[in-house]
Structure 1
Amino acid sequence: MAMIPTGAITTHAQTLPARTRPDEGGEPPVVVFVHGLLTDSLASYYFTLGPAFAAAGIDVVMYDLRGHGRSERPRGGYHIEAFVDDLVGLLDGLDERRPVHVVGNSFGGSIAAGLAAWHPERVATVAMIEAEPPVALWTRHMADGLSDAKRQLAREEAIGWIAAHHGAHTARLSRGASRILQTTTLAEDIPASRVIDDDLSGLTCPVLAIFGDESGLAAQVPDFEAKLPRCRTVVLPEQGHSVLVERTDETRELLLGWVREHSLAGAER
């Protein structure tokens, strides 16, 4: 584990080196895992995908977003461009110059898409798990969801309901989310973020998008397929938003195949 200066803040990161090296020599591919908002941290990848990717011969970078986990929590500065700048700063701090495969879960997928649009030279591919690209409609969705969460999670009876129906662990995560929302400008900053073009023309790298068929986010599939010529979409049946946790094995195999395919393609160019 390391605490790395990433511009205005310090970011907590965990790296896992590839356990095997390419047969032909050279460097292995590198994957950066970007977690979701409020109740998440790098631990979600450490206990799901990270070790398996390192075992498969891939360098792994995981980190806590600003305001989350062990990373610094400033009062303000939570526009998505700040999250993207943190990731660029992290790659610089790690002296990572290879184009990275970025895997983002939920809000992490929005960060991954922002990085690909605004810093295309840093990105080999993007994989978005139950995520939206940061377009204008996304800001409205985020405004509604964050405003409601900030109001509801401040109510003790709401936390009690979560504990009764989803368990003490989820209730603790919800309390932590409320602290972030009450002590920072996150709920106000994210809806006021910089956006990419609605036509997704800024996403020129290959994109993998994984959705659950019971999630409203799966409605994006036709739009992705029409606008992104280098896109592959996968919709998992009988699955809601919690793809990473509830369908870990399938997600791992999809992502490993994706990274291997595009790493080989890059090596052949």
Structure 2
Amino acid sequence: MTTPTFVTVAGRPTRVRIEGDPANSPVVLLHGIGRSLEDWGPQYARMRAHHRVIALDLAGSGFSARSPEPTTLEVLARGVLETLDVLGELRPVHLMGNSLGGAVAMQVVALAPDRVTSLVLVNSAGFGAEVALPLRLLAVPLLGELAVRRTTRGSARMAELLNFADSTLVTPARIDHALAIAEQPDASTVLLETVRALATFRRISHGWRERLIAATAEHARPTLAVWGDQDRVLPAHHLNAVRRAFPHADTELFAGIGHMPQIECPEDFANRVLAFLRDVERATPLTRARSTTRGAPRRRKAAATA
């Protein structure tokens, strides 16, 4: 197992984890809002045999320092590109994002399409107005500030429970990790900035979603979108919007799975993603979109710790 380390990106410490043969094609993993690269934990061993795997804590998230600018999708996407530059990874990458990380991945395509080979969107933000109430509450002035002023063990547990259909995955280790992230000096400020750039109390804002999807479609890349049908953060019917926005995309719906299929059904997730990446590398463009739904909640043993 490779331990995360820090690199200096535009003068700020950025936390990264890198695995696999540097000669292999690169896969870049992007986490969701207020999260960290630990959200890809079960996938490192499954992907490093075939790819150079690069994961990072987005600017101001996890244990990475924030950007001096207010946090927006473009700021986060530029941070991804700057991190790849520092790491010397200038080849086009397979870009994989969960939740907010999916929207950041699409923003990277909009900013630098020549740097992206393919997209894997995992329960991605950007495809619908609905989002869980706790995130919408953060958009409310004063109420949001009160909500993030102090993260308790109970509130961290409630936030973790939103992510999984299987509540046994909300382990003491995951809660400890969430509390450690919340204690970072700019964590609450960046969380509020991000939510308020993208949403109101009522819904995820429409304007940025429309612009982002149009910009991504303009530079169409082979795309796989996957979702868990028990997602309580971003509902699974958002996958239908993916199909409308990107008719060329492959899609997969995992039954009995929540917001983080990469953790909750790690083997099925890896098999689906690695097959897609093989297809992309064998044939460009991917000639046929495939849409499937797993009919039974087949859970391989999921990772029990962060």
* Both proteins in one fold, TM over 0.5: yes
Partner of 2:48: 54
Root mean square deviation of aligned Cα: 3.4
More helix by share: 1
2:299 is matched with none
2:136 aligns with 144
Listed as ranges, the gaps of 5+ residues in structure 1 are 20-26
Change (3 A) 1:9 1:209: same
TM-aligned CA distance change 1:241 to 1:145, over 3 Å:
farther
The aligned residue for residue 272 of structure 2 is 254
The alignment-based identity, stated in percent, is: 21
1:185 deviates by 4.0
User: Matched residues in 2 for 1:150 and 1:50: separation?
Assistant: 35
Q: Distance in 2 between matches of 1:236 and 1:15?
A: 28
Distance 1:136 1:188 in 2: 20
Per the alignment, in what secondary structure is the counterpart of residue 271 of structure 2? helix
DSSP 3-state at the match of 1:184: helix
TM-score when scaled to structure 1? 0.79
CA distance in 2, matches of 1:198, 1:37: 20
Go from structure 1 to structure 2 and tell me whether the alpha carbon gap of 1:157 and 1:8 turns closer, same or farther (over 3 Å shift).
closer
From 226, 234, 243, give the equivalent of 2:244.
226
Residue 201 of structure 1: aligned partner: 214
Instruction: Kindly state the Cα deviation for residue 49 of structure 1 after the two structures are TM-superposed.
Output: 1.0
The residue aligned with 1:34 is 30
Q: Does 1:15 align with 2:1?
A: no
Matched, 1:240 2:258: yes
| Partner SS for 2:96 | strand
User: What is the total number of aligned residue pairs between the two structures?
Assistant: 256
The one-letter code matched in structure 1 to 2:48 is A
User: How far apart are 1:95 and its partner, in Å?
Assistant: 1.9
1:169 to 144, 169, 173: 173
Q: Is the 8 A contact 1:34 1:109 kept in 2?
A: yes
Unaligned stretches of 5+ residues in structure 2: 161-166, 199-206, 287-306
Q: 1:195 to 1:161 in 2, by over 3 A?
A: closer
Residue 5 of structure 1 aligns with which residue?
8
Which stretch of structure 1 is more off in the superposition, 202-211 or 152-161?
A: 152-161
Which residue in the other structure is 2:203 paired with?
A: none
Other-structure match for 1:132: 125
Change (3 A) 1:205 1:146: farther
CA distance in 1, matches of 2:253, 2:111: 27
State the match for 2:301 in structure 1.
Answer: none
Output the amino acid matched with 2:12: I
The residue type equivalent to 2:121 in the other structure is: M
Please state how far the C-alpha of 1:252 moved relative to its aligned partner: 0.5
| Structure 1 position 93 matched with structure 2 position 106 | no
Distance 1:126 1:63 in 2: 17
CA-CA distance at 1:28 after TM superposition? 2.9
- The alpha-carbon deviation at position 259 of structure 1 amounts to 0.9
2:70–2:193 Cα contact (<8 Å) kept: no
Contact 1:78 1:190 in 2 (8 A): no
